[in-house]
Structure formats: structure tokens, C-alpha cells
Chain A
């Protein structure tokens, strides 16, 4: 028996040794990205390899996390005592983390200064600013949302482009034939970020806000009720049940809807067929890229553009060395060829936040961007004029993060579309939920 015990103990010791021995290497920086697709991960891995070959102080460990899982994974990382140093994530999540006091704003400001504040779009910087001064995140890339529509079908029926509430509703009703599995439009009607994103554009175009300029919650305002009413009516022309971005993508590419709301990330799906890319093909409709147009501005009481800025941000850490590594890597990613290679992983979808790169011929030289021709330049131009719920009259309300993380907007919409609530009742409910989320 004793012999066995000895063997066991020595085995254990060997194991312990093996585990500890590996921890004496270089400084490892953990970087979380929301780019979960393997093709994109490969691009980032190539960039990491390039970074590691240029210096030997820091190693980067890449972790991919789905955008909706970021709060969950951060919380579990915190509970387990293992947080990343750097995260690449949407502006709301960054503001939310900033409001929670988890971010190192100074480190962010450092990187912004190293790159040069003047070479980053103001619109993008504004999205990530810290109300106490400076920034919560370094702007990295952005997308613009709007209605992608079948110009050919619209012209065939003599319909106006879907840029106003009236023209959208008219077209949606015109095309809606559920018995043939043809639907009017896809907009978000589920408990997710997509619903908030598509809804925001309608609300902003109606001057409906979540916060007024004093920062009071005004989700039950008459403008908001009016927007909800319109949105619920429009949702009657959507495919069955709560819809998300996947429905928008599948159904548009399959020719089942003539309109859907989506970000610029759809550009490669629509355009792939026209390139000589040998892999999977997105669209089922022939030459979809030529038949598609994009309405990124919505007009009602005012004009509204919606989009998203993704930023890089740093989690507060005791370990200055890791933090320094993260900052160095962030700067690397935003510079020159590295930056262009990064953006080209989702051509058209990811747009540069640095004017110097946006106009760089090397950036514009990409097969897919060329397929879209002059449309692509117009599409990207929206990036500087994005409006959002968290920003009113030049002020930023990081509290919006609490509301977005609980998908209250989507839940409000679902109460109308799934349970038949009136817009007034839904708005009142959403207002109270938001109040609770803020307290």
C-alpha cells in the first residue's frame, strides 16, 4: 500500500511542476474579441503572430466571445479571478463597463493620444467618451445600419425608396403575402440587441428618446408611444414569430422579403457571388448586389442614421506590465497595414474610424468593395453622423448600458407583437422596467 501512495505523491508532484513551469514565460495579455467566426479569428491570429514577431516582451492570448455573452463572460471571469486586459466590443457595453468603474480610462486616453485624437472621427470618439472627461474606449471600427431593399422590385411596382415612414409602410403592405411565404420587411421583434438597433432608427427619426437633455427617463413620451405604434403596425408584415438578424439575412438572401434592416455586415453576403470567391455563396437570388440598394437615412420628423462603433478598452488591473502590453497591442492594431488587414476581414461591414485610413488606396483596394462600386463610399459615409439613445445634445449617458444589457426595448416590442398590448401600455411598462434597471 505504501508503495502505491508514494507513486501517487510523486505523480502529483510531477503534475504540479509541469503546471507551474509553464507560467514563467513572457507577459501574456488576454484579449477578448466579439469576432467569433473562424475566418476572422484566423486574420486576428495572423496579426497576433505579426505582433509577436516584432517584439518579444508580450504574448497575446485571444478569446472569442459572442457579443450578447460579454456581460456574462465578464462576470464569470471576475468571479473566477480571471479577467482579460483588453476587450473589443460595442459602445454600449463599453459605456456600461465604464459606468461600473471597471475600465482604465487613463490607459484609453493614452492610446488615443498615441494614435492622435485628430486622426479619429469625432463622431466615433463621441460615442465612447467618458462624461468625466477623456474616453472609455479607443474607437476601432464601425458599421452603419439601414434598410436594404430590392430596387428592381420597387421600380417594377413604382414604389418610392423606403426612406420615410410612409414609403416603408406602403411597400411593406404591398409585398406582404404570407400564404405564399412572402413578407413585407424584417425588423427586430425579439428580446435581443437587434430589436433595439432597428427600433432606434425609427425612434430617433421621430425625435423620441430614452433620456431627455437633463437625463430624465422619457420612454413614455408621446413621441415614443407614436413610434411604438408605428413599429407594431409595421411588424404585422414581418415573418412569423419574433424575428432576429438571422431571419433578416436568410429571408432577404432567399428572396422572401424585399426589405430588411441590417448593418453593413451584410455587404459581403450580398456581394460574394459577384466576386470570384470560391467558398460558400451567400445569396440565392442572381446578381443580388446589382438589385440591392441601401437606405441608411430614415426621414420622419427629422433625419436619423443609426450604427455602431466598436472600441478597444482596458479592464482595470493591478498588473501594469500586462496593461502596458495591451496598450501596445491596441496601438499596433490601429496602425497602417495591420489596421487595413483587420478591416478587410469583413469588407464593407467594418469601416475605419481613422480618416487617414478611410482614404488610403490600400484600404479601398478590395474585391468586395469594388463590386459595390460607388455605393460603398456612400454607405460608409454615414458613420460620422450616427445618432443613439445614449447621446443627447452632446451629452453621454452611460446608464444606457444598464438598459441595453437587459434588452428592455426588445421586450417592450415583444409585449405588443406577441401579447397584443397597446403602445401606451407597453411604453409604460418599458418605462418602469428602465427605471428599475437604473436604480
Chain B
């Protein structure tokens, strides 16, 4: 029997080996390599050696106003989209948590934004937001008169952030919707029936039954969406490159001005910040 167990274990190692190798080589190693790059002056020419410069990249970054502006943009973008996607997902899940004809189709349609390639969706929105011919301006200004004049939602440094936030919420709320809906459907009807016998209002039922049941799923959604949106690149960059969230800032530092070391250092700072957020959130908010 012992031999059998050894064999099983051996096979286990063999089967997991490709996974360990690929994740180790292409995720774990690069993360450490990134740290190494962040304390070096990285030469553009790969045959030339890189020079060790200690923490000076970090000092440069932390004293650079552009970094802090970008950091602030990231905070605004992430916080609004996390709240937006979660609330909208919750609302739509509550709305659809009932039986009606065509529910399966509606659910499939709502998931479309989440699976459509970013590039396609971004172009659709660009056209929608066009300053002169776009439907969005036409409806907001000419039909509803909510806004006084047409706005260049994509290019304007002041307004592009709104376009990016709306686009991100549109694209990602279906995920929150799906998770919350699954959780809602697992809440037993008897709980509500008991509450109804006690004469509870809709609001009371929501507050005392639904919400506590959803606490875990919403907590997890918030943390995942926060991590993902802090790292979000394509959804921002492909809609409007004038919104400089940190990932866009890193990309431009690395691949436009070729400060690889500095860009690596910004990545490291971003990672530490996200890690800190996760630890704080898990301990203080989720109380795990």
C-alpha cells in the first residue's frame, strides 16, 4: 500500500509540474524580476548591462506630481466603478429575481457586454460619444436638454473620465449581476414566507433577510473588482488614452519614453498599494 501511495504522489508531482513550471516561470519569476528592474537603470539595448541605482526610481516617482495626479485618477476611476458595477449588478439581480417569460434570454443579453471583445465595444461607445454626430450628445443636449452643449466625451481631459467610468460599468456590471443573482436564487423561500407571516414590509425583508445573505458575495465582488480595476488597462486605453490611470501611466513610461526601470518601480508601488488594500479590507471590512 505504501508503494502505491508513493506512486500516486509521484504521479501527482508529474501532473502538476507543467502548471508549476509555467506559473513559476511566467508569473512568479517576472514579479521578482520586476522588482530587480525597479532598482536598476534599465538600458534600452539588451546587450548592455543595467546599472544598479538603488531606490532612486522610487524617490523620483514619489516626488513627481504627474504620478500623484495619475494615482488620484486611478482612485477616482476604481472607487466609482466598483460602487457602480456592484450597485447596478445588485439592482438588476433583484429586478430579475422572479419568474417571467423570456427570463433566460434576458439574462443572456445582459451578459453580452461582459463577453464582447473590448476593442469592439470601445469602438461602439466611441461612435456613441462622438462630439458632433454621436447619439449620446444628441439625446442629452438636443432632445432632453440635460446638458447645455455638445461635449467631446472621448478626447476632453476633463470629461473623458466620465466616458471611461460609464463604459467600465456597462461592461462589468453583468459579472456582479450574475454572482448576486446566483446567490439570491439560493435563498430559501421559507425565510420570506415566515417574514410575511410576521407582517414584514418589502424593505424589511430586504434589509433583514436578503442583505445578510448577500454580505459575503458582495464583499467578494468589491474586493475582486477593486483589484481588477486598479490593474485595468485596455478598457481605459482603448476608449480614451487621455485618461491616465496608473496602468496607462506605466505603459506610457515603459513603452513611450522607455524608462523601463521607472515603470517597473511604479508597478511595484501599485502592487504594494493593492496588497495593502486587500489586507486592510479582508481584516477590517470582511472580518475574516
Contact = CB atoms under 8 A, between A and B. Distances in A.
Interface of A: 1, 71-72, 75-76, 78-81, 178, 181, 190-191, 239-244, 247, 250-251, 254, 256, 414, 418
Q: Which of A71, A239, A241, A256 lies at the interface centre, i.e. has the most chain B CB atoms within 10 A of its CB?
A: A241
Q: Which of B131, B153, B159 lies at the interface centre, i.e. has the most chain A CB atoms within 10 A of its CB?
A: B131
**Interface majority SS on B: helix, strand, loop or mixed?**
loop
B151 interface: yes
B155 interface: yes
A253 to B, nearest CB: 12
23 contacts: A72-B255, A75-B44, A75-B258, A78-B44, A79-B45, A178-B149, A178-B150, A190-B155, A239-B131, A240-B131, A240-B149, A240-B151, A241-B131, A241-B151, A241-B156, A242-B155, A242-B156, A243-B152, A244-B155, A250-B132, A250-B133, A256-B132, A418-B157
B14 to A, nearest CB: 7
- 8 pairs of A and B residues whose beta carbons are closest in the complex: A241-B152, A241-B156, A240-B131, A242-B155, A75-B258, A240-B152, A240-B150, A241-B155
A395 B14 CA distance: 69
**Interface majority SS on A: helix, strand, loop or mixed?**
loop
B218 to A, nearest CB: 37
Nearest to B131: A240
Given A76-B255, A79-B45, A239 B132 contact: yes
B22 to A, nearest CB: 15
Given A240-B131, A240-B132, 6 more contacts: A78-B44, A79-B45, A80-B46, A81-B45, A241-B152, A250-B132
B132 A181 contact: yes
A79 B46 contact: yes
A81 B132 contact: no
Contacts of A247: 131-132
B230 interface: no
A75 B255 contact: yes
Interface of B: 14, 44-47, 131-133, 137, 149-159, 242, 255-256, 258, 260
Contacts of A239: 131-132, 150, 152
A260 B223 CA distance: 49
Nearest to A81: B46
Contacts of A76: 255
Nearest to A179: B149
A239 B132 CA distance: 7
B6 to A, nearest CB: 14
Q: Which of B44, B155, B157 lies at the interface centre, i.e. has the most chain A CB atoms within 10 A of its CB?
A: B155
Contacts of B137: 240
Contacts of A414: 157
A294 B258 CA distance: 40
Q: Which of A75, A243, A256 lies at the interface centre, i.e. has the most chain B CB atoms within 10 A of its CB?
A: A75
A256 B132 CA distance: 9
Contacts of B260: 79
Contact of B150 (A78, A181, A243): A181
Contacts of B156: 240-242, 418
A181 B258 CA distance: 42
Contacts of A178: 149-150
Contact of B256 (A1, A72, A190, A244): A72
Nearest to B151: A240
Nearest to A192: B155
Contacts of A1: 14
